[in-house]
Amino acid sequence: MNRSKKSDLSALERDKIFNYAKSLFLKEGFYKITMDNLAAGLKVSKKTIYKYFGSKKILVESIVESIKKDLSGRLDSICKSSENAILKLFNLNKLLTTMLIELDDRWINDLRIHLPSLWKEIDEFRTKRLNGTFSSIINEGQKGKLIKNIPAEMIVMIFLSTLRGVINNEFLPNSKFSYKDAIETSLRILFTGILTAKGQKVFYKSLKKV
């Protein structure tokens, strides 16, 4: 087998391990899952996993880096789009909702407790990139007189807290609402509170495009 084919097979093997571990860790956390568990689930030897990831910590770090890279690309795409600030804000919240649904509390808690330095890195990334993007879009909307002159950091805090609350508590399992209904209703209430009269007209018009 030539070097190119070996390289391709190695890349496929690495991706298979990475994607399986990512899917499992995000749903169940990583602390209680051993390399033996991963090997059994993948039907490969631990030696094969260690060939690409020298430790579980390195694997977790790789997953976090991929999430950050993917999120950065999506944030840039939303910011650079030609849509109005309200649609950008709507799309940003849609992205965050999808992420929050995918990230189980066990994954978050494992990072906080067992890899605090990595969690600090994630928190700094969130503050710089996520909150920064949010604030930029809000400022854009305020300049266009679509969003009320409320401190951007306050709006960011309220939006993020609401999304976390709707998705990550006991409300939905004990209610008649679906994820989609709960998120749409929450965003409608939030947008109504921060938008000017002009902004509300644009909001309801924009909803038809979403």
CATH of the domain at 190: 1.10.357.10
Query: Do 80 and 38 share a structural domain?
Result: no
Are 195 and 86 a contacting pair, CB within 8 Å?
yes
Query: Do 138 and 41 share a structural domain?
Result: no
CA angle 112, 115, 118 (to 5 degrees): 90
Query: Do 69 and 36 share a structural domain?
Result: no
Tokens of 68: 């950050």
**DSSP-assigned states of every residue in 141-204:** HHHTTSB-S--HHHHHHHHHHHHHHHHSSSTGGGSS--HHHHHHHHHHHHHHHHB-HHHHHHHH
Query: Do 88 and 118 share a structural domain?
Result: yes
Q: Which amino acid is at 132?
A: G
Are 101 and 172 a contacting pair, CB within 8 Å?
no
Query: Do 180 and 92 share a structural domain?
Result: yes
Residue for token pair 């004990």: 174
Query: Do 49 and 138 share a structural domain?
Result: no
Number of domains in the chain: 2
Whole-angstrom distance, CA of residue 43 vs CA of residue 198: 58
Contacts 24+ apart (CB under 8 A), 74-81: 75/129, 75/130, 75/133, 78/133, 78/137, 79/133, 79/136, 79/137
* Residue-number span of the structural domain to which 143 is assigned: 61-207
Tokens of 114: 């067992």
Query: Do 69 and 45 share a structural domain?
Result: no
Query: Do 19 and 41 share a structural domain?
Result: yes
Position 105 scores a pLDDT of: 80
Residue 162: name the closest of 100, 108, 87 by CA. Answer: 100
Query: Do 80 and 41 share a structural domain?
Result: no
Position 206 scores a pLDDT of: 76
**Mean pLDDT, 10 residues at a time, over the chain (210 residues)?**
65 95 95 97 95 96 95 94 91 82 84 93 86 91 94 87 68 69 77 89 76
Residue for token pair 């407790």: 113
Query: Do 195 and 131 share a structural domain?
Result: yes
Position 171 scores a pLDDT of: 65
Q: What DSSP designation does 34 have?
A: -
Query: Do 118 and 65 share a structural domain?
Result: yes
Q: Is 196 exposed, middle or buried (0-12, 13-18, 19+ CB in 10 A)?
A: middle
